[in-house]
Amino acid sequence: MRVLGVDPGLTRCGVGVVEGLPGRPCKLIGYYVVYTDPDDDIALRLLRLDTELAALVAEHKPESVAVERVFSQHNVRTVMGTAQASGVAVLAGARAGLPVQTYTPSEVKAAVTGSGTAGKAQVTSMVTRLLGLDAPPRPADAADALALAICHIWRGGTRARMEAAVLAAKRRARR
Amino acid sequence: MRVLGVDPGLTRCGVGVVEGLPGRPCKLIGYYVVYTDPDDDIALRLLRLDTELAALVAEHKPESVAVERVFSQHNVRTVMGTAQASGVAVLAGARAGLPVQTYTPSEVKAAVTGSGTAGKAQVTSMVTRLLGLDAPPRPADAADALALAICHIWRGGTRARMEAAVLAAKRRARR
């Protein structure tokens, strides 16, 4: 399963592509940060983000897209731009006909570190280890996007295993 | 000048198309509300909004798009969806190669009622009068979108007249 994770942001948007199967080690395909100029018009910035995300989806052909959910407890000055960027990211996946799943920051942290309150450094360190990288991915936006992709593969896997277990139990019950 | 105004929202997104020239009466071309189902997936909802807005832009061929700016002092539960919808609206204009301008709610209210703190009813009443309609446009989201389009025509006009005055003054100074 190949997943494209997006840590949405207007000035810096992290994108990470990971391949893997539930319960198996994941493989890094690539990571990127899309930058847009804060001095540019909002329309130009969202258009650039849309164009870059569409290009990355076309290049990597992921089977699904995972986007971090935005909360309003963040910095009020920047949260509107982040929310607009997340809308564009979700749309980029949907327009390519892909399933899009959103995860809260604590779901992602819990998936890769075991703790929903882990810090940025811990997330980066676990992403580096889980993907078997020689050096941590930089900047942190890229590491967060990779963590999202890993979270989606593993949680999708958990769900698939649970569904399989439920099916197996039903089959046993029928015998 | 034909302007497509958007009052962004995820559940209800108002769209108003107005034709006019600065300082002249405006003409209603059409108004719409795009609804998306709150029970649907966010990706489906944003995709539907994007598709509908792109279709309205293609149908009406406006020369520019005006979108209401979203602030975080709104209801925290819904503001993230509104911000995502506004990102999609701005992008719809930009992807069609059109200039996109954003206005704050008070700029819009001031443009059509003379007061930046006017209520919804007053805005609807002025939009009805300014467009010479027999009945107020319903729902209020549509009236707000029409107010945005009127605001853009008039403010663009003010700007154009000021620029013309500055140019004329420069020309006089050169003589």
Predicted confidence (pLDDT) per residue in A118-135, tens digit: 999 999 999 999 999 999
Which amino acid is residue B19, in one-letter code?
Answer: E
Measured between CB atoms, which of A41, A87, A94 is closest to B85? Answer: A87
Q: Which residue has the tokens 């709610």?
A: B105
> Minimal Cα distance from A74: which residue of B?
B72
Beta bridge partners of B13: B34
* pLDDT for res B135: 94
Measured between beta carbons, which residues in chain A are less than 8 angstroms from residue B41? 100
pLDDT of amino acid A11: 95
- Nearest-CA distance from B61 to chain A in Å? 18
Kindly indicate the confidence band of residue A24, based on its pLDDT and cuts at 50, 70 and 90: confident
Instruction: Fill in the amino acid letter for A157.
Output: G
pLDDT of residue B166: 67
| In chain A, % of residues over pLDDT 70 | 87
Query: What is the strand order of the sheet A64-68 is part of?
Result: A27-35, A12-19, A2-7, A64-68, A100-103
Mean local confidence (pLDDT), A90-102? 96
Q: Which residues contact B73 (CB under 8 A, 6 or more apart)?
A: none
pLDDT of residue B45: 97
Q: Tell me: the pLDDT tens digits for A36-85? A: 999 999 999 999 999 999 999 999 999 999 999 987 665 666 788 999 99
Residue B156: the pLDDT is 76
Residue A109 pLDDT level (bands cut at 50, 70, 90): very high
A88 three-state secondary structure? helix
Average pLDDT, chain A: 90
One-letter amino acid of A150: I
Q: Where are the domains of chain A?
A: 2-174
Given a cut of 70, the residues of chain B with pLDDT beneath it are: 72-77, 157-168, 170-171, 174-175
**ipTM entry:** 0.82
Predicted confidence at residue A76, as pLDDT, reads 66
For residues B56 and B6, is the Cβ–Cβ distance under 8 A?
no
Helices (H), B61-97: 76-95
pLDDT number for residue B108: 95
pLDDT at B169: 73
Pairwise CA distance, residues B28 & B17, whole Å = 6
Q: Check whether A158 has a pLDDT greater than 80.
A: no
* Per-residue pLDDT at A34 exceeds 60: yes
DSSP string, A105-146: HHHHHHHHHS-TT--HHHHHHHHHHHTT-SS--SSHHHHHHH
Q: Which residues of A touch B (CB under 8 A)?
A: 41-44, 46-47, 50, 70-72, 76, 79-80, 83-88, 90-91, 93-95, 99-100, 102
B2-174 has CATH 3.30.420.10 classification: yes
- Distance (Å) from the C-alpha of residue A84 to the closest C-alpha of chain B? 4
At A71 the pLDDT is 77
Phi, psi dihedral angles at B16 (to 5 degrees): -135, 135
A141 is in an annotated binding site: yes
Q: What is the pLDDT of residue B90?
A: 97
Chain A residues whose beta carbon lies within 8 Å of the beta carbon of residue B70 = 80, 83
Between A21-25, A29-33, A84-88, the lowest mean confidence (pLDDT) is in A21-25
Binding-site sequence positions of B for Mg(2+)? 7, 68, 141
